[in-house]
Amino acid sequence: MHIVLNTPVLYVVDYPSVDAIEVIDKRNARGALFAGDTAARFRKELADVMSQSEDEEGNDADVDVCLDHFSALMTQPAIYQ
């Protein structure tokens, strides 16, 4: 398990041993566990957004665009205790 990102908007944990990635959108309290090709695509898109943020000034709008591509899959409620 590797915590990739933990911001006020997004929480991302990578599980490389099972080729899965867990994504929680904190604004909507929804999340999903992506595996296989979906996990690979999310990793790539997030890496692209992160590399652009390093080159330029960081922008939450870029992360929002990345999340929008996967929002239909993020159906599990995230419950904080």
Assess contact for 35 and 70: CB atoms under 8 A.
Answer: no
Q: For residue range 56-69, what is the model confidence (pLDDT) as tens digits?
A: 555 566 777 777 77
Does residue 19 carry a pLDDT above 90?
yes
pTM over 0.85: no
DSSP 8-30: SSEEEEEEGGGTEEEEEETTTTE
